[in-house]
Amino acid sequence: MNDELVARLADALGVPLSPERRAAAAESLAAQVAAGGGAAPEELDGVEPAVRFEPEPRT
């Protein structure tokens, strides 16, 4: 994830990102992507997202 790529992505998505903020955004985005939301895709095979909250414990 480099500054130029992040700048182009921000432009394409209409996200206001000034030049002096590109490096920090690139670093943060790289960290988020690396963290991958907490699990690798293969670990999540067959797992549905918790987009609908179910308060009852599932066993």
Binding site for another protein (CB under 8 A): 6, 9-10, 13, 15-17, 21, 24-25, 28-29, 32-33, 35-39, 41, 43-44, 47-51, 53-59
Q: How far is the CB of 33 from another protein (least distance, A)?
A: 6
Establish how many alpha carbons lie within 13 A of residue 25's alpha carbon, considering only the half-sphere containing its beta carbon. 16
Q: How far is the CB of 18 from another protein (least distance, A)?
A: 9
Q: How far is the CB of 38 from another protein (least distance, A)?
A: 4
Give dist(CA 49, CA 8) in Å, integer.
30
Give dist(CA 27, CA 30) in Å, integer.
5
